Amino acid sequence: MDEILQQKLNVLKSYIKELGSLAVAYSGGVDSTFLIKVAHDVLKDKALAVTARSSTYPEREFNEAIKYIQEIGARHIVITSEELDIDGFSSNPIDRCYYCKKELFQKVWKVAKENGIDHIADGSNYDDLNDYRPGMKAAQELKVVSPLKFAKLTKKDIRALSKEMGLPTWDKPSFACLSSRIPYGELITREKLSMIDKAENFLIELGFRQLRVRHHGNIARIELGEKDYDKILNKDLMKKIAAKLKDIGFTYVTLDLEGYRTGSMNEVLKERAETVKNFV
């Protein structure tokens, strides 16, 4: 193992050991799977994974989370956290994630206390410091620790270590809440979330890996990772995808020429900030 990676891993293990007990907000993604694995290795039964089910969390992801945690062997509790019932969430403000994370962390804290756990953690990594993450405010307010950030572990580091440790998530595509597919200010509904979920599941079944289906009213904007560019440029396949997404409820189906990128819905925030800056 790379010496720098080993040092970061040692920092992470020492930090978790000092905590003594830890409940991890576990989604089954690359980061939280790696974190609960290390926490379980260090703390054994003093480590607890807590997974929240909701309409913003696809059943596909939930089933994978269950599978991974069983392989790790850590304690696991499933809770319900319905974001659409949270005041201020459905209207989709730019700080939407703050309301979601606050609700989630409050529920994770409740489970932690009921099980004699002294700390709760999220899976934020060092790269997240460079993106717009209003959920971090909720984490700070509720004293949620971020061990991966503390150890300065980037997504690339976590994937490398996960591969070294034999975790099946080491090359899993990045995932985010389905609400992140809807532009800020546009109402989040169960119908829209269901449309997005069905569309993305269809693309995954076709063999596409890193993807997003952004919901713009009656338009579906598909973002794909670079490795899928050649695959999508097939006339019959494009017709098949368009027909399916129209059947799901979209009127128009488009392909984003810039492809997949993390937080593409945040680009409008940067544009607004730049406009204000130039105006002033």
pLDDT at site 263: 65
Strand pairing partners for 219? 216, 252
Q: Are 246 and 253 in contact (CB under 8 A)?
A: yes
Residues 120 and 249 in one domain: no
Residues assigned a catalytic role: 177
Can you tell me the distance from the alpha carbon of 141 to that of 50, in angstroms, rounded to the nearest whole number? 19
Nearest CA to 253 out of 267, 237, 264, 269 is that of 237
Residues 107 and 188 in one domain: no
The percentage of the chain sitting over the pLDDT mark of 90, rounded to a whole number, equals 80
222 inside domain = yes
Tell whether 31 and 120 lie within a shared domain: yes
Show the DSSP H helices in the chain as ranges.
3-19, 30-43, 59-72, 96-114, 135-141, 147-150, 155-164, 190-205, 229-232, 235-248, 267-279
Provide the 10 A C-beta neighbour count for residue 73: 11
pLDDT in tens, 202-242: 999 999 999 999 999 999 999 999 999 999 999 999 999 99
Q: Which token pair is 139? A: 């984490």
Rg (CA), the chain: 19
With beta carbons less than 8 A apart as the criterion, state whether 256 and 226 touch: no
pLDDT tens digits in sequence order for the chain, 280 residues long: 799 999 999 999 999 999 999 999 999 999 999 999 999 999 999 999 999 998 899 989 999 999 999 999 999 999 998 888 888 899 999 999 899 899 999 999 999 999 999 999 999 999 988 777 788 899 999 999 999 999 999 999 999 999 999 999 999 998 889 999 999 999 999 999 999 999 999 999 999 999 999 999 999 999 999 999 999 999 999 999 999 999 999 999 999 999 998 766 667 665 544 433 333 3
Is 202 inside any structural domain? yes
pLDDT digits (tens, 9 = 90+) for 72-94: 999 999 999 888 888 889 999 99
pTM (2 d.p.): 0.88
Among 141, 164, 187, the domain-final residue is: 164
The secondary structure of 87-149, three-state, reads CCCCCCCCCHHHHHHHHHHHHHHHHHHHCCCCCEECCCCHHHHHCCCCHHHHHHHCCCECHHH
Considering the domain architecture, whether residues 117 and 196 belong to the same structural domain is answered as: no
Structural domains of the chain, count: 2
Q: Examine residue 38 and state whether it is found in any structural domain, yes or no.
A: yes
Please check whether residue 181 is in contact with residue 262, taking contact to mean a CB–CB distance below 8 angstroms.
no
Q: What pLDDT, on a 0 to 100 scale, did the predictor assign at position 271?
A: 53
**Within this chain, do residues 72 and 22 fall inside the same structural domain, yes or no?**
yes
Rounded distance, CA 89 to CA 99, Å? 6
Which of 164, 199, 214 corresponds to the end of one domain?
Answer: 164
Q: Are residues 261 and 217 in the same domain?
A: yes
Which of 137, 164, 191 marks a domain boundary?
164
Q: In what order do the strands lie in the sheet with 252-255?
A: 211-216, 219-224, 252-255
Look at residue 83 in the predicted model and tell me its pLDDT.
86
88 CB-near residues (< 8 Å, 6+ apart): 96, 99
Residue 38: strand, helix, or coil = helix
If you search the block for the tokens 């290390």, which residue do you land on?
38
| Spatial contact of 76 and 40, defined as CB atoms under 8 Å apart | no
What CATH number did the domain enclosing 159 receive? 3.40.50.620
- Structural domain span for residue 149: 3-164
Claim to verify: residue 9 and residue 134 sit in the same structural domain: yes
